[in-house]
Structure formats: C-alpha cells, structure tokens
C-alpha cells in the first residue's frame, strides 16, 4: 500500500445505521449505547439519517427522570398534570403552558383532515388550516413523552415542528398515520437529545454492567437463573426499572450482532465467535435444567462440575463451601443427577 492509500474502518454507528430501512424501529438505548461519549452533533447527524430513512424511535426503554436541577419540580408537576387530564385551570393564570392551551382552544379548527391533506398534496393550499387541525393531536401525543426530562412546552414545540413537516411533505396514503409518525419522531428526538445531554448513556452503561455482574453472581450462588425480582433487590431498583435495564442489554447484544463482521478475518476469530455463542446457549440450558432442583442441590452441581465457566471442585472442596462432608456431597450429587435424568 502506498503512502497515499488509506483504509478506514467504518464507525459502529455508521454500520448500524446503514443496515436500517424505512419502517424499522430503533430503541433509544441502542443509539445512546452506540454514541456514548460522542458529541451532540454526532447524535443529531444520526437522528437526521433516521428521519430521512423513515426509521421510528422508541424511547420506552429509557429510564423515567425529572432531573435534579431547577426544572425538576416543574417536570414532576407536569407529569401529574398530564395524568389528571391536562386541565389548564389547574395552573397559575399567567403560566405559559396554561396561556398556550387556552389560546389553542380559541383557534378555529374545522374541516376534514383527509380532504385537506389531499388538497395540500396537490398544491391546492390549506396548510394553515391543516396545521390548526393537528395541534390538538400534538398536545395528546406530547403527553405520552412527559416524564423523560423534557418540559411539556418544549415537547409541544418539537411536536409542532413534526406536524409542520408532515403537512409539508405529505403526498399520498393515510394522512393521520403519516402525521402521527412525524409528530412522534420529533417528540422522541427531543427526549433523546435531552437524555444524551444528561449523560444517560453513561448511566445506562453502568447499570448494564452492574446487572451482568449481579446476574452472574446470583447464578453461581443460587445454581439457577435468578428472577427479575432477585436482581432488582440487589440493584436497589424496582422490577420495572430492572426490566428496562434487561431490555437495554438485549438491545446492546443486537447492536453487537449487527456490527460484528459477517466473516471473521481469521479462523481463530471465527472460533471465538462460535464459542461465545455456544457458551451463552449452554448457560441458558444449564439454568433451565437446574431450575428443576432445589437451591442447595443446584449450587452443589454448579460447584462440582464448574458450570458457567467456573473451575470444577472436588467433593472435598465442594463440601467445605457448603458445610458438607465429601460423602454427603457424593450422595447428594448422585441423587440430584438422578432427578435430572428422570425429569
């Protein structure tokens, strides 16, 4: 290769984005995991690619947050406000959100959206009327994105931008679904940018590492796959929060599979990939088998056979860890194996 010839490996996020197509759905955790440590401009570029391609954004695996700054009390208030039906009268008279909602209620909104959309698509005018008809839908959808650290007025503004994009770009098909896609994309975009600014990607990375460590430790201690509740207790999280972390880990595995070269460069690498996959499958199978035993017998077999990557222990070593004599270990091992065979 000459001095002027260079070979660049594509960035993982570029590989990931290039494999997406219109109608696909990307989770927020996937993007934040891929873009951890990147600047906001890189995230905005990725979001622009998704928008252009027609890929939806799913924020359901992001942790709910009200932040810790000055906006935190307001964010909590707005979440409660939305849960109670978003009544403007429950806000102060000069509150910007109340003023906007009351102003919106006074805006004339009439006509058939489908007919108006068809007319706009044919350059027949009516864009402003179509926007006015859609603003109430922006309010409804914005309420679904409250609780992720973005103020409701900011969400409404972003959703309104999405509505305008829908009105401007609609050509044919079902307008209502098209409109909702654009509104939701801009709402999710606002949430994702805020999450990135708050360092949620780094926090998620730590949470996933803690989850994996606790999962492995409990598997060894219990001799079976731990339940979500058992992991949640160790993480000091609710089961719902722990389930969100588990989904993030699943999404991270998906990203790894997408970014992994289809054909490893050498036989050793190919073997390593196969062994990694086989080990994961074995772990799942062992966990399923041991779940049919009581906790003590499952742990005994785990220690004796070095299951899940551990070193096989002798009856003496196993007995020391479990408070049993070597003879008791051998007897319980035989009984446990017999039970597995019969099962």
Which residues are registered as beta bridge partners of 65?
Answer: 148
pLDDT score at 310: 61
Task: Tell whether the torsion through CA atoms of 63, 65, 67 and 68 is positive or negative.
Answer: negative
Per-residue model confidence as pLDDT tens digits over 105-129: 888 777 888 999 999 887 877 888 9
pLDDT at 167: 93
Unique residue bearing structure tokens 């955790």? 29
DSSP calls for 256-321: HHHHS-SS-SSHHHHHHHHHHHHHHHHHHHHHHHHTTS-HHHHHHHHHHHTGGGPPP--HHHHHHH
Residue 4 has a pLDDT of 47
Closest CA to 204 of 251, 160, 270: 251
pLDDT at 7: 46
Residue 252 clears pLDDT 90, i.e. is over it: no
Predicted pLDDT at 265: 52
Lowest mean pLDDT among 9-23, 54-68, 96-110, 175-189: 9-23
pLDDT-derived band at 1 (thresholds 50, 70, 90) equals very low
pLDDT (tens digit per residue) in 310-323 = 677 888 888 888 88
Q: Which residues pair with 58 in a beta bridge?
A: 27
> Looking at the predicted structure, is the pLDDT value of residue 72 above 80?
yes
What 3-state class would DSSP assign to 65? strand
Among the residue ranges 67-76, 101-110, 111-120, 257-266, the one predicted with the least confidence is: 257-266
| Nearest Cα residue to 14 out of 32, 37, 35, 36 | 35
Model confidence at 343, pLDDT cuts 50, 70, 90, reads low
Residue count of the chain: 343
pLDDT grade, residue 95 (50/70/90)? very high
Confidence of residue 280 (pLDDT cuts 50, 70, 90): low
- pLDDT of 253 above 70: no
**Environment class of 82 (CB within 10 Å of its CB; exposed 0-12, middle 13-18, buried 19+):** middle
- Residue 196: pLDDT band with limits 50, 70, 90: confident
pLDDT at 8: 47
Predicted model pTM: 0.65
- Identify the residue with better confidence: 199 or 68: 199
Over the Cα atoms of the chain, what is R_g?
27
- Pair of tokens at residue 23: 């109608």
Output 178 or 274, whichever has higher pLDDT: 178
Residue 130 — pLDDT band, cuts 50, 70, 90? Answer: very high
Q: What angle do CA 196, 252, 262 make, to 5 degrees?
A: 125
Domains of the chain (ranges; CATH) run: 66-184 (no CATH), 275-343 (1.10.10.10)
Mean per-residue pLDDT of the chain: 81
Alpha helices, DSSP H only, in the chain?
12-18, 28-34, 40-53, 72-83, 96-106, 113-121, 127-144, 152-169, 175-197, 200-222, 228-235, 239-259, 267-290, 295-305, 315-322, 326-342
């Amino acid at each position: 290769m000459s001095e002027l010839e260079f070979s660049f490996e594509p960035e993982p996020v570029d590989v990931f984005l290039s494999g997406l197509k219109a109608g696909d759905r990307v989770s927020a955790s996937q993007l934040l995991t891929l873009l951890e440590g990147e600047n906001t401009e890189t995230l905005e570029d990725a979001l622009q690619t998704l928008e252009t391609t027609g890929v939806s954004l799913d924020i359901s695996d992001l942790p709910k947050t009200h932040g810790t700054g000055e906006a935190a009390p307001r964010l909590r208030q707005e979440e409660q406000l939305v849960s109670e039906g978003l009544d403007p009268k429950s806000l102060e008279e000069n509150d910007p959100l109340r003023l906007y909602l009351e102003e919106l209620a006074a805006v004339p909104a009439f006509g058939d959206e489908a007919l108006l959309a068809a007319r706009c698509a044919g350059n027949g005018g009516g864009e402003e009327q179509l926007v006015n008809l859609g603003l109430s839908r922006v309010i409804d959808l914005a309420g679904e994105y409250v609780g992720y650290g973005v103020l409701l007025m900011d969400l409404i503004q972003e959703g309104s931008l999405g509505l305008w994009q829908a009105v401007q770009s609609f050509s044919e098909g079902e307008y209502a679904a098209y409109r909702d896609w654009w509104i939701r994309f801009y709402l999710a975009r606002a949430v994702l940018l805020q999450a990135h600014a708050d360092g949620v990607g780094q926090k998620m990375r730590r949470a996933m590492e803690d989850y994996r460590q606790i999962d492995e430790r409990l598997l060894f201690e219990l001799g079976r796959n731990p339940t979500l509740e058992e992991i949640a207790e160790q993480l000091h999280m609710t089961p719902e929060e722990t389930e969100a972390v588990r989904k993030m880990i699943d999404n991270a595995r998906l990203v790894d599979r997408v970014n992994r070269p289809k054909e490893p460069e050498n036989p050793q690498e190919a073997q390593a990939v196969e062994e990694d996959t086989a080990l994961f499958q074995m772990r799942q199978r062992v966990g399923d088998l041991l779940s049919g035993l009581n906790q003590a017998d499952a742990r005994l077999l785990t220690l004796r056979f070095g299951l899940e990557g551990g070193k096989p222990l002798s009856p003496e070593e196993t007995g020391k860890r479990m408070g049993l004599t070597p003879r008791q270990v051998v007897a319980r091992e035989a009984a446990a194996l017999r039970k597995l065979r019969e099962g």
